[in-house]
Amino acid sequence: MGKSMVRPEEEFGRDLCLVKEAVITGRKVGASNAFWSALAHNQKLYAKVVKYVQLGGYEPQILVSEWENFYQRVLGITVDLSRVEIPSHQPKKDFSRIVMVAESLTLNQVWEVCKKRFPAWSYYGDDLDKAVLINNRTTIKSYAIRIRDRQEADEELKNLSANQLSKKGIPGITLLERLLLELKYYDETGQHLDLQNITLCNGSRFLFDRVPLVRWHDGRFDVIWFYPADAYYGLRSRAVVVV
């Protein structure tokens, strides 16, 4: 039966089955009758729980504080991310890592910090703001994306060119987001991303429609480029979820 043909009572019945599972699981972690009673009769509390689940287990204030602290410590800028809307969590697809991009942040700002923190080289030199002509998302205002929380770029997207990803309607990471992700991951772990593969930043374009590539290679963080119609096994985008 198609989704449009499912009767309301059937949908309600499915919800009741899930509620039963939730109660059973809740009892295992200490959710008593008082807990469920509080949820049932306090809409504001319920809304907070819903928001927590939508964020994939992140406390909104803790997440914002963590990123604001990162911007201050690593990039040396003060930002207010309290009004940024976070994309909903998609547990089946593992989009559990959140990247918060601050208003007015530039490629050159992030690139300069990359160069100070570890060896870094760009085919286009140090003026990446001039080199990148197109971005699917800009910093006209602060925003957030979700990506898969992995060291290597998405295996699901191997052997797919930027043109193929576009035809499939798969939004990919921009160069700015990828550089910011590198800094955040390095700050958290002291390690680098893409030790074995290369991130295809199909959310951005250089001159002549060239697609930015990012990798860690021979002890250096590289920004290079690739043709939009070409693909190979080790070249993979990082899919993003946006609001």
pLDDT tens across 19-44, in order? Answer: 767 777 767 766 677 676 667 776 75
Does 65 map to a domain?
Answer: no
Tell me what pLDDT residue 11 has. Answer: 62
Decide if pLDDT at 141 tops 70.
yes
73 found inside a domain:
no
Helical packing angle, 107-117 and 175-189, nearest 10°:
30
Measured at the CA of 60, the angle between CA 54 and CA 64, to 5 degrees, comes to: 130
Same domain, 222 and 138: yes
Whether residues 113 and 227 share a domain: the answer is yes
Evaluate whether residue 81 is within a structural domain.
Answer: no
Select the more confidently predicted residue: 8 or 75. 75
- Specify if 70 maps to a domain: no
Same domain as 103, residue 25: no
pLDDT of residue 209: 97
Grade residue 1 by pLDDT with cuts at 50, 70 and 90: very low
* Residue of 130, 137, 139, 138 lying closest to 207 (CA atoms): 130
Domain presence at residue 104: yes
Note whether 23 and 99 are same-domain residues: no
Instruction: Please indicate, yes or no, whether residues 156 and 230 belong to a single structural domain of this protein.
Output: yes
Domain identity same for 25 and 127: no
Residue 243's nearest CA partner among 36, 135, 102, 98 is 98
Query: What gap in Å lies between CA 114 and CA 121, rounded to an integer?
Result: 10
Q: In this structure, are residues 201 and 174 in contact, taking their beta carbons and an 8 Å threshold?
A: yes
Share of the chain above pLDDT 70, in %: 80
Residues 116, 15 share a domain = no
Instruction: Work out how many domains the chain is built from and give that number.
Output: 2
Pair (37, 140) in one structural domain: no
Taking the C-alpha atoms of residue 93 and residue 42, their distance in angstroms, rounded to an integer, is 31
Same domain for 36 and 119? no
Are residue 111 and residue 224 in the same domain, yes or no? Answer: yes
10 shares its domain with 109: no
- Assess contact for 189 and 183: CB atoms under 8 A: no
Residue 82 lies in a domain: no
Is residue 51 in a domain?
Answer: no
pLDDT at 48 over 70: no
The whole domain housing 29 covers: 3-41
Residue 241 pLDDT > 80: yes
> pTM for this one?
0.79
Residues 104 and 222 in one domain: yes
In a domain, 230, yes or no: yes
